[in-house]
């Protein structure tokens, strides 16, 4: 799949714009969360819970810290975001 296709979201999804996949490999099966950006705010979505927002922040670094606390690792990077991790 092209990087352009990976960053496009289905029109029925609650996630808008560019997104990243994060996974907890210590869980079985591995648990996936999605990070998306809407306006100036970042959100963590849970695909198993109808893509509900489970965490939000104004900073990407806060999102990353929150995910790392629970052993999540990024498996895809949103190239279009202009943020410092």
Give the predicted TM-score (pTM) of the model.
0.72
The pair phi, psi for residue 12, each rounded to 5°, is: -90, -5
Q: In what helix (H) or strand (E) does residue 22 lie, and over which residues does it extend?
A: strand 19-24
When pLDDT is averaged across residues 70-82 and rounded to a whole number, the result is: 76
pLDDT tens by residue, 20-39: 999 999 989 999 999 998 88
What local confidence, expressed as pLDDT, does residue 80 receive?
56
Neighbours of 24 (CB within 10 A): 16
More confident residue, 10 or 64: 64
When pLDDT is averaged across residues 6-32 and rounded to a whole number, the result is: 70
Predicted confidence (pLDDT) at residue 83 exceeds the cutoff of 70:
no
Spell out the domain ranges in the chain: 3-74
């Amino acid at each position: 799949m092209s990087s352009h296709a990976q960053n496009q979201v289905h029109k029925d999804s609650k996630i808008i714009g560019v997104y990243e996949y994060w996974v907890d490999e210590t869980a079985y099966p591995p648990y996936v969360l999605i990070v998306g950006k809407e306006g100036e705010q970042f959100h963590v979505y849970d695909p198993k819970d109808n893509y509900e927002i489970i965490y939000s922040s104004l900073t990407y670094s806060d999102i990353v810290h929150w995910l790392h606390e629970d052993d999540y690792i990024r498996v895809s990077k949103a190239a279009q975001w202009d943020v410092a991790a």
